[in-house]
Structure 1
């Protein structure tokens, strides 16, 4: 298996096509990356900014560079000795414009008898033999339908016409009534949608890759790339949406036996990947959570919780927010999925038919109570039973229905089992990631994909235990700090992690801001001010765009479907005040200045830890410098590779220790605004991993001794030693490192960041005099 020593993720778009990826490959090589990691490149909906709405599996998207662009990337990578990793989307296809998706067009044209009927997961009976397409607006009238060029049209939407259904003189409405699809109000999707979607996105239709013929058809081009040497690694998007992830992965692994395969699987705390899956591991959200937790002191939790309650008036704990968010989406945007499971239950157990409403209510409660994204029966049966127990405690009147459903959900009926598993993942994603994460704002840096906002930091010992397990079970799993799906970039998280450490300095400032700029939802106001401190003075239009997405995701004062103009105007007015009101601006600016050096320290520490911990590190495009991006699409903005190339060249042309302008006993104070130190650190680690992969083959915790020992995280990977600072505010308040020291394993070690050499027991104040981190490589 070709396992890279590291990857560098590139977002391929019209503005950054494959030709551009080929042009930056030499920079990635110089940086030290071992693989070019490409976002989806198969043909997607025209104008797509992300590529996850693909419309064809048999060609590279011409808007992103086409086949020639792919070949250019592969050729350049091979010339430089780089591997190529691609991101694929097996779960769904883009159907926003039916005319762009041949398979979907044919399904609509020919219905359940067409050759593509097996591709899509449609409940034909529920639609009376028709696919319900929720595209009509609130003011729809029949005269808005037209017949043009042999198609049925509704404004910009185009639909095919079945053979023989449009005789001369027929009205558009009459023709519509004869089709294999029915255009319905977008509001009916919640309860009447009869094709499986990606979460609740009606423009993304689920496909049935559990059908071997569909798998073969949709993977032929990918496997051609593999067979011709154009792909070394495959990243699987959203495996939890698949009917049978294990079988799918077995097919893929058999077809691409030498490929490094990772899955975008979100695991909850304590949850492990099913050991039967033939994959190297996940795409790194679990690792992100482990590193992120190091930035928080569990001792600060009580104060953070108390002040959050007093500032916002929200006395709900994380578990309550999870249940409320999941119940919201289960009874609205994803209700159709539960109704479909209810119909499957009726078919499998007719004796439950008289209680259809009770069945759906019980399914809803079980989905809300489910502790992880999904199970994979029989794997995860204990999670199903835990959900039954919790749901029964919440709704004892449904106990009998829970008991009757349990055998079906545990594998007694395949359709019921699979559809419930698919639904719990979607409900978790939408109810937690896209709802509760924007409602529970005690410490927003913890509200990250794969994280657990209900916990508050971890000890160094807990981190070491997690890494020893990672080294033992998933040494080739990907690790990451930022992705196209993270709620905020790693450097924003590094800054907001400082706030609980500041304690009353932060809480008093937040109270002033919230009193001077009150919002109808004070919890959202608390999120907003944390975001300002984390992102800094980014362009106002970016902060406005973030605020709009965040408040609509929260679905508390406004929402995506029915927005509240007054609520949104109030939020936007507060954003404007931050930039133009001198008093508010100065209050924020002073706070940002205080946070900055500690945020830099956190940024470098978490970067070094992530790049050196067990697993294969990924660098998301541009994050080798400080990057203050927010949730997508903000994190897909263009990256200035020319600047990075220039800075790296400058760094390589001068002594390593001169990246910083002096030695300081206070970590972080000498770091440069542009993030050169982070660039240098990234290059040093990636180059060392590529040159000496054997030095990253084990994991041994190193324990510091002395007054500030709790501020050190250190470990030996087998000849490469990481030493990093944590909780920098507390360290500064304690007066620095004092007598704290680390004893190195036998041998002499060179700090790749500074060039200094060490052996034996070393005082941390000396070791971390230039940077808040050290990368020690065993001398040859």
Structure 2
């Protein structure tokens, strides 16, 4: 079942199944067809997002029990709502003590039952890691924490197992082969059991079964014999008190606990990006796939789930094979979309069995068409003059990707260099290519990659798009590092495209070549994500409205022609793809971005204001790293964050309590921004002095006693906020009417001025939204035109946004086939102000709608009226769904002044035959 519209809910300990159940009537009344749920399978305790799953076969107990879940599902069904689940196939949460599969691997190493489930390199170049798993969860150096007593052996009386615990939080099971070192010789029965544990290898292949039996005997012995318990406690205490003795036990294990800072160099398991406690799964293995999807398939079969959003599809070894398997396994047809970030020149793979992507591309498209491209040069000059930053974004992105590969993701790069060298040595013609030179070339290729990844498969050659992107990356890499012999790049190009073994008797193993290519594909995506989105986007602050997931900040706006082309392509190829404007991943809320977009209409005023604010706030606070703190680039970001996220209720006279609460949010976003930028501070090495200086600037700006700054800032903030409302409504109308299936992120039916996560996962006041919807439905059921004008006049409460949402979701329900499968055609606009509007038509058979939105509210503020600007409407009588105003269109073009008399958008439905 294809959804009409989804509503994203973020589940966590403070928003549970029972809370969602209570929302069912409200969501249905709003016009939603499906709840789009964040992951709710069992995750790490305290998980704020659910992406760190520890058990695919059970629900997260922090959200409620099985009955609570059933009650929620029943409430949804009773309200006519289906469910879409955000599903995570790429990785699991590790660390802690909650993932039994991970604990099994720690206990038994490469011989563990589940060793093959995780993407672990047991043959690391670091010999001390041979057959060991690096566990980088210590907050300081291993020796420091060991001597400080932060690592302790504990006995599990129920299981009969022994483990080292780090900080009483991370469980690291001891291999039973070495229990003898802990059980000691002070008690005869413990000594005999220790000898039996040491003899476990003689029980192959039933070693694990025998170990479990011995553990049960140990548990019984400790339970029944006080003297044995005392002897074991004494032995454990002796080891815990003698760090050298404890180290001797630890050295025998299949794991090596280490300082988190060494992960970038030595880690030998694939992670989700560079997050140590999210370990990659080998979902290409049938056993892993069956296990991970068992509960999901049951819920689909029972009719609880109608679809899946597949998280981080690019992390999988073979995304197409995964999607084929998913399609073949589901017990009934479901709606499937993938989280896929596409470059502007890139298309979603046509052979993927999905309805489309999750809408990051649309978020950037809808915002981009509201940005006034004519202001680019002025914005660039303002940024350069204020900050001194003149480096192009492409250079910043390249440098950031290099930095990520040389630091946080160096270990993965080292492994790729090693594997490439092993392939090269298979043929005398390439045997002299050393690991170091191949690794250097791979780093350059990855840094130049124009897309997240390519998609070569074991059973298919690379396609034209893959070859184009790979060829481009290799060509750029050659140009940048001319010291590398060109034949090295030739070899890698052939290896990474699969051409190296295209002919018989190539001298190379096809399997090893393709495995190298596919491993590199899993690497370039995280490098792009961490290098660009999570580093470069926080360094290049020219206009942060454009620094969004999947965005390209160097493209200052989107032309109407590009907007229409993208929509027409989606209508033809992916008519049911998800459309998003806010998500749990967006770095700023949809209305914060729309508000900032209004700055592109008034670039001179923006340039003047930032200079005034800086003079009011900046004082010399001493020198940090040779420059004034904070630097001008971070300061420039700060002013944009304030304008975009300034709460509507604080636009007039903010009180001290409100300012204090808001300041905490802004400071948290600033701290994250500075650490992600990795220039003056970072997550691995926080610079407290610099961060404090930035926090001090924010405190000064948001001090209720700072009348100078606030009296200068607030009038401009009020003006931009009012202009932003028009952009917000235009953006909303585009999402609810363009080809695709719209998603509303929780709470965004009212204004969404949130900052980067975790700010965008704050609890939503649903009670106020329910009350607002009731009043709105009463108001628009009467005389809609005056009601909408009244709501627009009082835009501050956000109810005008909710009204537009409810009306257009109602229209989608009435004309479901049109919105699901209708054609798309750009509307012709004429006149000297035609660039200030945008229009398109959707049609299916006799059904048709026309959508018009006004752009550039700042220009219209300075130069009101539409003059002779017109739209070429098809002949007939048309009624605006939003205001119920009717327009009679003859053969002549229709004036936009009449269409936009009440709102900056109109959705026209033909109300009578022509």
Separation in structure 1 between the aligned mates of residue 103 and residue 123 of structure 2, nearest angstrom: 20
What are the equivalent positions in structure 2 for 1:417-428 lying under 5 Å apart?
417-428=517-528
Which digits, 9 at most, give the CA deviation of each residue in 1:465-505, with x for residues without a partner?
11111111111110000000000000000111111211111
What are the equivalent positions in structure 2 for 1:517-528 lying under 5 Å apart?
517-518=617-618, 519-528=629-638
Q: Would the aligned equivalents of 1:708 and 1:740 in 2 still touch at CA under 8 Å?
A: yes
What are the equivalent positions in structure 2 for 1:727-742 lying under 5 Å apart?
727-742=856-871
Instruction: Tell which deviates more after alignment, 624-633 or 161-170.
Output: 161-170
Q: 1:431 aligns with which of 513, 531, 535?
A: 531
Rate the CA distance shift 1:668–1:516 in 2: closer, same or farther, 3 A. Answer: farther
Shift of 1:80: 2.1
What are the equivalent positions in structure 2 for 1:22-33 lying under 5 Å apart?
22-33=21-32
Secondary structure (helix, strand or coil) at the match of 1:74 reads helix
Rate the CA distance shift 1:686–1:554 in 2: closer, same or farther, 3 A. Answer: same
Shift of 1:517: 3.4
Q: Would the aligned equivalents of 1:9 and 1:621 in 2 still touch at CA under 8 Å?
A: yes
Rate the CA distance shift 1:96–1:584 in 2: closer, same or farther, 3 A. Answer: farther
- The answer as to 2:390 corresponding to 1:311 is no
1:119 counterpart residue number: 117
Q: 1:130 aligns with which of 129, 132, 135?
A: 132
2:173 counterpart residue number: 160
Mind listing any 5+ residue stretches in structure 2 that lack a counterpart? 156-161, 185-238, 240-244, 457-461, 501-512, 619-628, 648-658
Q: 1:654 aligns with which of 748, 755, 779?
A: 779
Which digits, 9 at most, give the CA deviation of each residue in 1:525-569, with x for residues without a partner?
111101101111471111111111111111111111111111101
2:151 counterpart residue number: 145
1:193 counterpart residue number: 267
Mind listing any 5+ residue stretches in structure 1 that lack a counterpart? none
Separation in structure 2 between the aligned mates of residue 502 and residue 9 of structure 1, nearest angstrom: 34
Q: 2:548 aligns with which of 421, 429, 448?
A: 448
2:103 counterpart residue number: 105
- The answer as to 2:592 corresponding to 1:594 is no
Aligned length: 776
2:299 counterpart residue number: 225
| Structure number with bigger Rg | 2
Separation in structure 1 between the aligned mates of residue 899 and residue 394 of structure 2, nearest angstrom: 42
- The answer as to 2:586 corresponding to 1:486 is yes
Instruction: Tell which deviates more after alignment, 193-202 or 499-508.
Output: 499-508
Which digits, 9 at most, give the CA deviation of each residue in 1:632-671, with x for residues without a partner?
110001111111111111111124686786898xx99735
Q: Would the aligned equivalents of 1:597 and 1:671 in 2 still touch at CA under 8 Å?
A: no
Q: Would the aligned equivalents of 2:792 and 2:800 in 1 still touch at CA under 8 Å?
A: no
Rate the CA distance shift 1:663–1:11 in 2: closer, same or farther, 3 A. Answer: closer
Separation in structure 2 between the aligned mates of residue 308 and residue 352 of structure 1, nearest angstrom: 50
Instruction: Tell which deviates more after alignment, 739-748 or 291-300.
Output: 739-748
What are the equivalent positions in structure 2 for 1:441-520 lying under 5 Å apart?
441-518=541-618, 519-520=629-630
1:642 counterpart residue number: 767
Q: 1:674 aligns with which of 797, 800, 804?
A: 797
Q: Would the aligned equivalents of 1:660 and 1:671 in 2 still touch at CA under 8 Å?
A: no
Secondary structure (helix, strand or coil) at the match of 1:235 reads strand
Rate the CA distance shift 1:716–1:123 in 2: closer, same or farther, 3 A. Answer: same
Secondary structure (helix, strand or coil) at the match of 1:52 reads coil
1:416 counterpart residue number: 516
2:490 counterpart residue number: 403
Secondary structure (helix, strand or coil) at the match of 1:164 reads helix
- The answer as to 2:453 corresponding to 1:374 is yes
Secondary structure (helix, strand or coil) at the match of 1:717 reads strand
What are the equivalent positions in structure 2 for 1:269-288 lying under 5 Å apart?
269-288=344-363
Rate the CA distance shift 1:65–1:762 in 2: closer, same or farther, 3 A. Answer: farther
Q: 1:604 aligns with which of 708, 729, 732?
A: 729
Separation in structure 2 between the aligned mates of residue 323 and residue 659 of structure 1, nearest angstrom: 53
Instruction: Tell which deviates more after alignment, 738-747 or 438-447.
Output: 738-747
Secondary structure (helix, strand or coil) at the match of 1:451 reads coil
Q: Would the aligned equivalents of 1:743 and 1:762 in 2 still touch at CA under 8 Å?
A: yes
Separation in structure 2 between the aligned mates of residue 204 and residue 326 of structure 1, nearest angstrom: 21
Shift of 1:352: 4.8
Which digits, 9 at most, give the CA deviation of each residue in 1:706-748, with x for residues without a partner?
2321111111112222111111111222222222222322333
- The answer as to 2:812 corresponding to 1:689 is yes
Secondary structure (helix, strand or coil) at the match of 1:778 reads strand
Shift of 1:60: 0.9
1:203 counterpart residue number: 277
Shift of 1:68: 2.4
Secondary structure (helix, strand or coil) at the match of 1:328 reads helix
Q: 1:358 aligns with which of 422, 437, 446?
A: 437
Separation in structure 2 between the aligned mates of residue 662 and residue 208 of structure 1, nearest angstrom: 56
2:898 counterpart residue number: 766
Separation in structure 1 between the aligned mates of residue 646 and residue 688 of structure 2, nearest angstrom: 27
2:907 counterpart residue number: 775
Secondary structure (helix, strand or coil) at the match of 1:59 reads strand
- The answer as to 2:181 corresponding to 1:181 is no
Shift of 1:574: 0.8
Rate the CA distance shift 1:354–1:459 in 2: closer, same or farther, 3 A. Answer: closer
Shift of 1:353: 6.5
TM-score (norm 2): 0.83
TM-score (norm 1): 0.97
Separation in structure 2 between the aligned mates of residue 662 and residue 214 of structure 1, nearest angstrom: 56
Separation in structure 1 between the aligned mates of residue 909 and residue 70 of structure 2, nearest angstrom: 37
- The answer as to 2:566 corresponding to 1:566 is no
- The answer as to 2:479 corresponding to 1:393 is yes
Shift of 1:141: 3.1
What are the equivalent positions in structure 2 for 1:334-345 lying under 5 Å apart?
334-345=409-420
1:698 counterpart residue number: 823
Q: Would the aligned equivalents of 1:657 and 1:755 in 2 still touch at CA under 8 Å?
A: no
Secondary structure (helix, strand or coil) at the match of 1:417 reads helix
Rate the CA distance shift 1:319–1:117 in 2: closer, same or farther, 3 A. Answer: same
2:236 counterpart residue number: none
Secondary structure (helix, strand or coil) at the match of 1:325 reads helix
Secondary structure (helix, strand or coil) at the match of 2:115 reads coil
Rate the CA distance shift 1:657–1:450 in 2: closer, same or farther, 3 A. Answer: farther
Q: Would the aligned equivalents of 2:433 and 2:488 in 1 still touch at CA under 8 Å?
A: no
Separation in structure 2 between the aligned mates of residue 68 and residue 131 of structure 1, nearest angstrom: 39
Separation in structure 2 between the aligned mates of residue 540 and residue 766 of structure 1, nearest angstrom: 43
